[in-house]
């Protein structure tokens, strides 16, 4: 199996696989699948329509089913799980890491989860119960429990003899956990130190003292800690500082990826929609967003409706009004995106929130000035009407400043009320920029242009 392939190759393999499946060439498809890494198979399934997904799943050899399942995005995985019997789920997930099995089980309905647990052997069930007792998006939900721990008072030589007895260390082990007599966590012993320091030194002399991550720490904060400290793994502890498990960087990479993906999707009103969800499912998921935006659109329409007489007298207003509202929306969205990401990354507190607001207002004022001048000149040139040009210029500068204000204040306000600003921010902002844009432009026109 080639380790290295670029994106283009991925797409080519997916193409070949899709072609084999559409031509009912099951042998050809199986030959391709055998050459693929489970994560590539998962990628391919995500990139193909529902029918191809089930065909691929049915062609897989039993020993990769578990890995593929654990690599799939949640909605695609759910699709498969809904069609599987509990016994099959237990069988497929048997050889996975406990944290990956927990991820999968966490999405099942309670009764099915219990049945799957019962179908497992005692040891696996115990391990899983301890992870499942924590919410999925916390350190406890992310952790794995296959840890190797040592005491501080033994020598490195003893540690090495102990490791050799184990014959095999868990995957992704870069360090051992050091605990005291009561299994309380006190620090880590890096494998690099075991190998390069004096074998007669004790663990306590060589180890690095550390505090563990409390099991209820949100996953997103865990990701930030890993990112800031360039960690490969970290210990998870309970409220009494007892060692529960460890988190490895591969799980954290998934959290980081999902978190950024979450902003992109939320801001577009996509939720957890996947590329090839059934048409009905996709349509329904996106319909909510369209519905909410429709309310905004009718509100804007109602505002315009208040100025029907003005428009009747000067139709140029109808021609130009989308410019005022639209430019406000674009500028506001720039500020909103900055603020939403700042909040998601935990970079906005009380003091700099005000500084951010002032900065965005200044940017809004400056760009408002520049673009309202340009728009004014174009309108004067187009309609040969100075008063109309001045009115649209004024309306634009007002709307761009209000857009900057709204772009900064809305997400901060939503956050204070515990609402995800990535989801609700965009609609609220558009409502503000539409209503303010239409009101100022048509209002100023009513006041100054009509005889």
| Contact (Cβ atoms closer than 8 angstroms) between residue 179 and residue 185 | yes
Residue 74 or residue 297: which is nearer to its own copies going by CB? 297
Task: Identify which range of 55-63, 75-83, 122-130, 341-349 contacts its own copies by CB under 8 A.
Answer: 341-349
Least spacing, CB of residue 347 vs its own copies, in Å: 4
Residue 41 or residue 81: which is nearer to its own copies going by CB? 41
Least spacing, CB of residue 146 vs its own copies, in Å: 12
First to last CA, the chain: 80
Least spacing, CB of residue 117 vs its own copies, in Å: 26
Using CB under 8 A as the binding rule, the residues of this chain from 173 to 212 that contact its own copies are: 173-174, 191-192, 194-199, 210-212
Query: Quick one: which of 61, 83, 123, 168 contacts its own copies (CB under 8 A)?
Result: 168
- Report the C-alpha gap between 53 and 45 in whole angstroms: 5
Using CB under 8 A as the binding rule, the residues of this chain from 287 to 326 that contact its own copies are: 287, 289-291, 293-294, 296-298, 300-301, 304-305, 308, 311-312, 315-316, 318-323, 325-326
| Contact (Cβ atoms closer than 8 angstroms) between residue 64 and residue 93 | no
Least spacing, CB of residue 346 vs its own copies, in Å: 3
Closest by CA position to 326, among listed 218, 168, 434: 434
Least spacing, CB of residue 410 vs its own copies, in Å: 15
- Report the C-alpha gap between 213 and 245 in whole angstroms: 10
Residue 145 or residue 267: which is nearer to its own copies going by CB? 267
Closest by CA position to 427, among listed 292, 243, 280: 292
What would the x/- binding string for its own copies be over residues 112 to 141, using CB under 8 A? Answer: ------------------------------
Using CB under 8 A as the binding rule, the residues of this chain from 366 to 385 that contact its own copies are: 366-367, 370-371, 374-375, 378
Closest by CA position to 313, among listed 446, 447, 440: 446
Residue 136 or residue 157: which is nearer to its own copies going by CB? 157
- Report the C-alpha gap between 425 and 387 in whole angstroms: 35
What does the DSSP 8-state code read for residue 144?
B
- Report the C-alpha gap between 411 and 174 in whole angstroms: 40
Residue 133 or residue 312: which is nearer to its own copies going by CB? 312
Task: Identify which range of 33-41, 53-61, 76-84, 105-113 contacts its own copies by CB under 8 A.
Answer: 33-41
Query: Quick one: which of 229, 386, 387, 450 contacts its own copies (CB under 8 A)?
Result: 229
- Report the C-alpha gap between 326 and 403 in whole angstroms: 11
Count of residues binding its own copies (CB under 8 A)?
138
Q: Where are the beta strands (DSSP E) in 184-306?
A: 185-190, 208-209, 213-214, 233-237, 243-248
Least spacing, CB of residue 327 vs its own copies, in Å: 6
Least spacing, CB of residue 429 vs its own copies, in Å: 11
3-state secondary structure of 36: coil
CB within 8 Å of 368: residues ≥ 6 apart: 331, 396, 397, 398, 399, 400, 401
3-state secondary structure of 6: coil
Using CB under 8 A as the binding rule, the residues of this chain from 391 to 420 that contact its own copies are: none
What would the x/- binding string for its own copies be over residues 262 to 281, using CB under 8 A? Answer: -xxx-xxxx--x-xx--xx-
Residue 86 or residue 141: which is nearer to its own copies going by CB? 141
CA distances to 5, 64, 139, 212, 335 from 28, in Å: 20, 18, 43, 50, 51
Least spacing, CB of residue 242 vs its own copies, in Å: 15
Least spacing, CB of residue 290 vs its own copies, in Å: 6
Residue 112 or residue 371: which is nearer to its own copies going by CB? 371
166 binds its own copies (CB under 8 A): yes
- Report the C-alpha gap between 378 and 78 in whole angstroms: 54
Query: Quick one: which of 29, 32, 33, 46 contacts its own copies (CB under 8 A)?
Result: 46
> Maximum CA pair distance of the chain?
98
Residue 73 or residue 183: which is nearer to its own copies going by CB? 73
Burial letters for 94-104: b for 16+ Cβ neighbours within 10 Å, e otherwise?
eebbbbbbbbb
């Amino acid at each position: 199996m080639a380790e290295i392939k670029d994106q283009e190759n991925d797409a080519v393999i997916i193409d070949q696989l899709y072609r084999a499946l559409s031509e009912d060439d099951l042998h050809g498809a199986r030959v391709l699948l055998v050459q693929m890494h489970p994560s590539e198979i998962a990628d391919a399934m995500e990139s193909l329509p529902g029918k191809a997904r089930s065909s691929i799943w049915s062609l897989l050899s039993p020993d990769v089913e578990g890995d593929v399942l654990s690599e799939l995005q949640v909605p695609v995985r759910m699709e498969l799980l809904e069609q599987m019997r509990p016994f099959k789920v237990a069988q497929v997930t048997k050889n996975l890491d406990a944290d990956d099995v927990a991820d999968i089980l966490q999405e099942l309905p309670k009764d099915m989860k219990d049945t799957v647990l019962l179908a497992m052997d005692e040891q696996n069930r115990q391990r899983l119960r301890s992870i499942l007792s924590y919410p999925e998006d916390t350190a406890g939900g992310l952790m794995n429990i296959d840890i190797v721990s040592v005491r501080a008072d033994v020598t490195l030589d003893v540690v090495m003899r102990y490791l050799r007895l184990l014959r095999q260390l868990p995957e992704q082990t870069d360090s051992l956990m050091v605990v005291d007599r009561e299994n309380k966590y006190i620090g880590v012993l890096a494998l690099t130190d075991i190998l390069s320091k004096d074998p007669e030194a004790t663990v306590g002399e060589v180890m690095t003292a550390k505090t563990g991550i409390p099991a209820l720490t949100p996953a997103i904060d865990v990701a930030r800690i890993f990112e800031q400290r360039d960690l490969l793994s970290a210990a998870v502890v309970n409220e009494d500082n007892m060692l529960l498990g460890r988190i490895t960087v591969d799980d954290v990479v998934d959290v980081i990826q999902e978190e950024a993906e979450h902003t992109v999707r939320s801001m577009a009103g996509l939720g957890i929609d996947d590329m090839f969800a059934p048409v009905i499912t996709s349509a329904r998921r996106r319909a909510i967003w369209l519905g909410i935006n429709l309310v905004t659109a009718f509100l804007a329409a109602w505002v315009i409706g208040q100025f029907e007489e003005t428009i009747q007298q000067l139709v140029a207003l109808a021609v130009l009004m989308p410019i005022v509202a639209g430019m406000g929306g674009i500028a506001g969205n720039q500020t909103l995106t900055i603020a939403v990401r700042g909040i998601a990354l935990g970079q906005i507190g009380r003091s700099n929130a005000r500084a951010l607001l002032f900065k965005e207002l200044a940017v809004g004022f400056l760009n408002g000035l520049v673009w309202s001048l340009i728009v004014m000149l174009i309108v004067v040139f187009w309609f040969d009407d100075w008063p109309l040009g001045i009115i649209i210029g004024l309306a634009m500068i007002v709307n761009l400043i209000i857009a900057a204000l709204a772009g900064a204040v809305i997400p901060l306000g939503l956050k204070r009320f515990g609402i995800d600003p990535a989801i609700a921010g965009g609609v609220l902002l558009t409502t503000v920029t539409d209503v303010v844009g239409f009101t100022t432009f048509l209002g100023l026109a009513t006041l100054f242009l009509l005889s």
